[in-house]
Amino acid sequence: MIEVAQRAGVSTATVSRVLAGPPEMVRPETREKVLRAVAETGYLPNRLARNLRERAARIFAVVVSDIGNPFFTALVRSCEDAARERGYSVLVADTDEKVDQEAQRLLDVAAEGVAGIILASTGRQNEGLEQVVRSWIPVVAVDRRVATASFDTVATDGRAGAREGIEALLEAGHQRIALIGGPEEISTMTERRVGYEEALRGHDIEPEPDLIRFGDLKEESGRAAALELLDLATPPTAIFTASNLIAIGAVKALRERRLRLPDDLSLVCFDDVIGGELIGPGIAAVVQPTYEMGTAAAELLIRRLEDPEAAVEERVLPTALLRRGSIGPPPDGSSRRPG
C-alpha cells in the first residue's frame, strides 16, 4: 500500500480513501492517479488487516442443522449467491440439530469475527446465542423462529402450508391422516402440526395422538415412525410428513410392507424431495421458495448491518402445494366415518 502511495505521490490514507471510502471523498484526478498506481503495482488490499481494523470480517456465517439436507443446501446456496453479490463470503457450520453444538458453533463463528449470522436454530435457548447477542453480532433467523429473542426472521407459512396439504388429503376422502414430524422444539414443526390439526378440526375430525409422531429430521426416523403407524390396529390411510427426508423414510417403510402409493396409502410431504416426481407415482409436496428464503435472509442481514437501529422485520413467504400421484382416495373398506 505504501508502494502504491509513493507511486501516486499521495499518502496511504488517500489510497485507502480511494479504495474503501465513499466515492467522492477524494478529488477525481487524485483518484485517477491512485487507481493507476494500483493497476501498475497489481496491489491487492489485505483484508486481514481491514478485518482487524473494522473488527469484523466480510463474512456471513450460515448455521444450520445439516447441510446434507437438501433444504439447507439450497438455502446455503442462495445465501452464498446473495452474499457474494454484496461482497460477503459465506462460512458454513452444522449443528447436527443439537443445542450444545449450536451453542458451540455460534461461539466459534462469532470468535471468527463474522459480520453476521444466518441461523436455522434448534429452537432451544443456549449460551452461544446469548453470547452472540451480547456481542452485538446481528443474527437473522431463517426457516425457524427463535423464541428467546426478537430477530429479523425469514420463514414460510407452515401453518397454511400444512393446512393446504391436509385439505388435499381430506378432499380425496381421507379421515385417518397421520403426521410424522421432527423435533417438537423446532418452530416449523410446531406450526406444521398446528396447521395439520386446524385442517382436521375444520372437518370435524379430532386429531388422534396415536397418529402423531415426532422423531428427528432424518430418513431413518421417518421410516421407523411410518412402520409404527402401519402396525397400528387401525392404520392411517394417509400420511403427512413435516419434512422431506422423513418422507423418503416413509416411502421405504411402505416398500417394506409392500404397500403402494397411492392405492394403499396416500402421502404428502412438507418441502420437496430431489427427484420427488420420480419416486413411485410422484410424492405430493408442500413446496417452499427455498431460494428466495436464502436471498431474503442475506438481504435482511445486510440491511441490519447498514442500519442497526432498523425495526425488526419478519418476512413470511408462501408455500405451494404440488399435487402429485401420491394423493389418491383411501382404499376400499378403510374406516370411513359416517357423515
Q: Is 113 in the site for DNA (CB under 7 A)?
A: no
Nearer to a copy of itself, 157 or 277 (CB): 277
Q: Is 19 in the site for a copy of itself (CB under 8 A)?
A: no
Q: Of all helices (H) and strands (E), which one includes residue 255? A: helix 244-256
Q: Which residue has the cell 442462495?
A: 78
Interface of this chain with a copy of itself, residues 229 to 248, rule: CB under 8 A: 248
- Apex 79 CA angle, 150 and 71, nearest 5: 85
Q: Is 14 in the site for DNA (CB under 7 A)?
A: yes
CB of 329 to a copy of itself, least distance (A): 23
Nearer to DNA, 26 or 297 (CB): 26
* C-alpha to C-alpha distances, 196 to 2, 48, 49, 336, nearest whole angstrom: 65, 50, 53, 19
Q: Is 1 in the site for DNA (CB under 7 A)?
A: yes
Q: Is 89 in the site for a copy of itself (CB under 8 A)?
A: yes
Scanning 4-12, 59-67, 96-104, 125-133 for contacts with DNA by CB under 7 A, the matching segment is 4-12
Rounded CA separation 307/251 (Å): 47
Scanning 91-99, 118-126, 169-177, 315-323 for contacts with a copy of itself by CB under 8 A, the matching segment is 91-99
Rounded CA separation 154/196 (Å): 21
The DSSP secondary structure of 38-76, one letter per residue, reads HHHHT----HHHHHHHHTSEEEEEEEES-TTSHHHHHHH
Scanning 23-31, 229-237, 247-255, 257-265 for contacts with DNA by CB under 7 A, the matching segment is 23-31
Q: Of all helices (H) and strands (E), which one includes residue 287? A: strand 284-287
Interface of this chain with a copy of itself, residues 103 to 122, rule: CB under 8 A: 108-109, 111-113
The DSSP secondary structure of 152-201, one letter per residue, reads EEEEE-HHHHHHHHHHHHHHTT---EEEEES-TTSHHHHHHHHHHHHHHH
- Whether 11 and 2 have beta carbons less than 8 Å apart is answered as no
CB of 314 to a copy of itself, least distance (A): 27
Interface of this chain with a copy of itself, residues 24 to 63, rule: CB under 8 A: 44-49, 51-52, 55-59
Q: Is 263 in the site for a copy of itself (CB under 8 A)?
A: no
For residue 204, give every residue at least 6 positions away whose Cβ sits within 8 Å of its Cβ, in sequence order, or none: none
Interface of this chain with DNA, residues 35 to 54, rule: CB under 7 A: 45-46, 48-50, 52-54
Name the residues that contact DNA, by CB under 7 A. 1, 9-17, 19-21, 24-27, 29-31, 45-46, 48-50, 52-55
